[in-house]
Structure 1
Amino acid sequence: MTTTDRAGKRAALILNPIKNTGADAREIVERVSSEEGWEAPLVLETTVEDPGHGQAQEALRAGVDVVIAAGGDGTVRCVAEELSGTGTAMALVPLGTGNLLARNLDIAVDNPEEAVDTAFHGTERRIDVVHVTVDRAQKAHVFLVMAGLGYDAAIMSDTRDDLKDKVGWLAYVDAGIRNLPGKPARTTITIDGGRPFDRRLRSVMGGNCGKIMGGLEIFPGAKIDDGLLDLMTVAPRGRFGWLNVAGKLFAKGKGKDPSLEYYQCSRAEVQLHEPLEVQLDGDPLGKATHMSFEMKPESLRLRMPYGRKDPAILSNPLP
């Protein structure tokens, strides 16, 4: 990059201040900006009242060249909600427990220095964003990794923060075990405007990419730039129902067991006969009886490391 290329460039850092390594992220971004000949970064901290939306809007008004979201999946989602469709690039410094988008895209989750280097020097790709409307609200939310109603959302809302601080993502396992008991809910699903069909389910999940902690791929074949929403229904039955679900997950969806079914589409609508918990990228949103998904292909510019990508995540795995 020449001196002329660098002149006038500026990054915005949207920082979740409650994360332990937040101060390091700020220092690194300020130092790299100086080393690269960029202007001093615009640093904006999130708050409980505003977890990233207003800060991202301020960064857009300032006309920055890249917005760096430093925090957990919730911070990333809120910033992406404002940047989607704008053409302004986004980068990540993962500071949370799950960091699912970063893990899917090989962005360093335990090395803020490396993540900041990617923000300034990484390759830039366009990824899909899924818009979600809960209970037919006027305003849609977005997610980048996965969202759902039922069992998965109950895990997110019931995970103990104190346990996350002690054991990290294993706290989700604790919540998952505690929420295994339960009854299936009557559910009506409509895919791409087709004929609705009924199921009795514990969970319905929409996926934009497939991997979670431990490298487990729960949406086999999901790619973050293919323009398709992956929908998964979970319906454990009988004494060994959850074992069947786990078996099909580890088999990457292969087999005919109806305990786990997959669909691909551009739009989907889920109607429940009783309210269940809702989550977007790990953020609990309370309970709802209706959820609609709409795919917005390649609507977010995202910085990621150079190098061949996992073809299970990107349609074009080359840098």
Structure 2
Amino acid sequence: MPTDAPPEAITGPGTDTGTGPGGRRAALIINPTKSPADDVRDAVERFSAEEGWEAPLVLETTEEDPGQGQVREALDAAVDLVIVGGGDGTVRCVAEELVGTDTLMALVPLGTGNLLARNLDIAVDDPTSAVEAAFRGTERSIDVVHLTMDRAQDAQVFLVMAGLGYDAAIMSDTREDLKDRVGWLAYVDAGIRNLPGEPAHASISIDGAAPFECRLRSVMGGNCGKIMGGLEIFPGAKIDDGLMDLMTIAPKGRLGWLAVLGKLFVRGRGKDPSLQYHQCLTAEVTLREPLEVQMDGDALGAATHLLFEVKPRSLRLRMPLGYKDPAVVSDPLP
């Protein structure tokens, strides 16, 4: 299967994706614990009928299999479109199996963060609109980043961002009961509680160059730049430019976090070393002591070594028609 796909032609409603004589078919892979799962299922069935597609294949994720097995079943059924109904973790698991294939993916965000959907202007509070975009939107090919922890044999993938240190501690320490009550503000609570801490010694190599040494609280790789509230933490990051943005956070002293916030709000401009950026195809991070790791919001445990590798434009994605934020994609139209 190709992994470095060329830019895809822009497609719109009714585009034939080259299915067999039985007609086109979508698969809905959905987390049944998310609300409103039943409404999403009904919408996918309705739009399939309206577009003249076959009845959709509906597959539910489980605690034991959060998406990968369901994708393999959908691919075996030769579906043309895989619609993911769930949060960032479910989206990541499904994408991991679709990377390098010719099968389209679309999102119906049902989680708390929904970071990829927010970056791509997919409705996070209107599942019916998201389902409509899945069938009638435009197609793009986006980058995917492979992340290998502690030199494991197999890599995992992320679509938005991954990191170790402070940001991962937030994800692992966020209270689930608070998420249910106040949504993404629960991450703010965890962030405040994890502000105190000691920096870690890291060795970082960018695109195979000689490593540089630093002491930091966090290092993050970003495939696109926006988080909740529209804050752009990776200025200039584009999801289809073939590059990853690497950010190191190294506040100095008790007031050091103010410098970090200040540089974030001026989109990374300035010479303050508390927040630094690099663009790259690969990055390798080695620590003396293990730190927590997160990937698209999922806490993955602690590690001392991370290898990031970009796979340019290796995932076909359907998103809403209309103008795209040039801070997210290389070509803002259509």
What residue number does 1:66 align with? 81
Unaligned runs of 5+ in 2: 1-13
Distance 1:274 1:44 in 2: 41
Distance 2:178 2:255 in 1: 29
User: 1:98 is aligned with what amino acid?
Assistant: G
Distance 2:16 2:94 in 1: 30
Q: Deviation digits for residues 277-319 of structure 1, max 9, x if unmatched?
A: 0011001100111000000000000001111110000010012
> Are 2:37 and 1:22 aligned?
yes
Distance 2:174 2:76 in 1: 36
SS in 1 for 2:322: coil
Q: 1:211 to 1:2 in 2, by over 3 A?
A: closer
Cα displacement (A) at 1:5: 8.4
Q: Deviation digits for residues 124-167 of structure 1, max 9, x if unmatched?
A: 00000000000100010000000000000000011111111100
Give the counterpart of 1:286 among 301, 304, 326: 301
Q: 1:4 to 1:253 in 2, by over 3 A?
A: closer
RMSD: 1.4
Cα displacement (A) at 1:173: 0.3
What residue number does 1:101 align with? 116
Q: 1:314 to 1:139 in 2, by over 3 A?
A: same
Give the counterpart of 1:115 among 130, 148, 155: 130
> Are 2:277 and 1:273 aligned?
no
TM-score by length of 2: 0.94
SS in 1 for 2:287: strand
TM-score by length of 1: 0.98
Distance 2:253 2:195 in 1: 13
Give the counterpart of 1:231 among 233, 246, 262: 246
> Are 2:231 and 1:212 aligned?
no
Preserved contact between residue 127 and residue 302 of structure 1 (Cα < 8 Å): yes
Preserved contact between residue 3 and residue 37 of structure 1 (Cα < 8 Å): no
Distance 1:264 1:15 in 2: 34
User: 2:216 is aligned with what amino acid?
Assistant: L
Q: 1:184 to 1:39 in 2, by over 3 A?
A: same
State the identity %.
Answer: 76
User: 1:211 is aligned with what amino acid?
Assistant: K
Cα displacement (A) at 1:185: 0.3
What residue number does 1:77 align with? 92
Cα displacement (A) at 1:239: 2.5
Number of residue pairs the alignment of both structures matches: 319
Unaligned runs of 5+ in 1: none
Shift >3 Å, 4+ stretches: 1-7
What residue number does 2:164 align with? 149
Distance 2:28 2:161 in 1: 24
Q: 1:154 to 1:311 in 2, by over 3 A?
A: same
User: 1:293 is aligned with what amino acid?
Assistant: F
Preserved contact between residue 67 and residue 91 of structure 1 (Cα < 8 Å): yes
User: 1:169 is aligned with what amino acid?
Assistant: W
Preserved contact between residue 17 and residue 80 of structure 2 (Cα < 8 Å): no
Cα displacement (A) at 1:32: 1.2
What residue number does 1:48 align with? 63
